[in-house]
């Protein structure tokens, strides 16, 4: 049976990318906050970065705009093509590189990076053992003083504030979200039905579905430690804010 990631990120890549187009603006602020955190709290100012499962490259481009030689990996050909086009449009082709690579094949990569990032719930697709292997392979690509940064939605926040269904409309497109949570596995199942608004109502476009595990913050720390990182700090955002039950995201900085 085809894994959901194959359909969502390859067969439906254009629809998925268009549905989350508005997140580009947020990436610029997130990267600015992260670099400030690394500089102030860790005295770390990276020169070369690698974004694992980079999608359409929003964080890679934001890093490059701040003078970092930034590379992104993703297994979606459509995402990689979009990322390259955006880099060219923004005059960043000389400071960016995008490769079509599955994050499960990091052990086949070579290189040396001051900063490796895994953002926006890019773990939890294939199981805990695979996630530990991905992080361990990332560690092998870091410089001696390099830093890994992982960002996930805060499982504890979303369990406390679980919403089974929501509807949003933007730019003449209606999205109907439905979600289920499995207490035993910690996996969230999400289904989004997409409609285009017309003068007389709505035309159905397609359905996107995915199922991934969100790790509770202490478990995310354990994943990093199991991957060989000795110093792992958890924050409630890229700005280094305190992690609480009301933090929507958890950011792990591992060395």
- Per-residue exposure over 228-241, b if at least 16 CB sit within 10 Å of its own CB, e if not: ebeebbbbbbbebe
Domain annotation for the chain: domains and CATH numbers: 4-153+216-254 (3.40.50.150), 157-212 (2.20.25)
Q: What is the pLDDT of residues 1-35, one digit of tens each?
A: 789 999 999 999 999 998 877 777 899 999 999 99
Distance of alpha carbon 238 from alpha carbon 255, whole angstroms: 16
- Tell me the percentage of the chain whose pLDDT exceeds 70: 100
Query: For 222-234, what is the mean pLDDT?
Result: 98
Q: What pTM value is reported for the model? A: 0.95
Q: What is the pLDDT of residues 111-135, one digit of tens each?
A: 899 999 999 999 999 999 999 999 9
Query: Quick one: pLDDT at residue 25?
Result: 81
Sequence-distant (≥ 6) Cβ neighbours of residue 114 within 8 angstroms: 44, 46, 47, 48, 49, 142, 143, 145, 146, 147
Query: Quick one: pLDDT at residue 192?
Result: 96
Sequence-distant (≥ 6) Cβ neighbours of residue 70 within 8 angstroms: 48, 49, 50, 51, 60, 61, 63, 64, 95, 96, 97
């Amino acid at each position: 049976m085809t894994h959901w990631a194959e359909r969502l990120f390859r067969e439906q890549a254009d629809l998925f990318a268009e549905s989350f187009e508005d997140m580009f603006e947020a990436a610029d602020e997130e990267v600015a906050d992260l670099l400030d955190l690394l500089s102030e709290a860790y005295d770390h100012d990276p020169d070369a970065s690698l974004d694992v499962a980079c999608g359409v490259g929003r964080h890679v481009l934001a890093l490059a705009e701040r003078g970092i030689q930034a590379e992104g990996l993703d297994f979606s050909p459509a995402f990689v093509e979009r990322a390259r086009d955006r880099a060219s449009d923004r005059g960043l082709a000389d400071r960016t590189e995008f490769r079509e690579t599955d994050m499960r094949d990091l052990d086949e990569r070579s290189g040396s990076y001051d900063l490796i990032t895994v953002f926006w719930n890019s773990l939890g697709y294939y199981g805990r053992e695979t996630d530990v292997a991905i992080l361990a392979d990332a560690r092998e690509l870091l410089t001696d003083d390099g830093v890994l940064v992982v960002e996930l939605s805060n499982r504890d926040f979303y369990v406390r504030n679980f919403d089974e269904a929501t509807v949003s409309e933007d730019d003449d497109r209606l999205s109907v979200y439905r979600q289920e949570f499995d207490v035993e596995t910690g996996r969230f199942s999400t289904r989004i039905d997409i409609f285009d608004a017309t003068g007389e109502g709505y035309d159905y476009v397609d359905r996107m579905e995915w199922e991934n595990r969100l790790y509770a913050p202490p478990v995310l720390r354990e994943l990093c430690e199991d991957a060989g990182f000795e110093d792992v700090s958890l924050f409630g955002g890229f700005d280094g804010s305190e992690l609480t039950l009301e933090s929507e995201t958890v950011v792990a900085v591992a060395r």
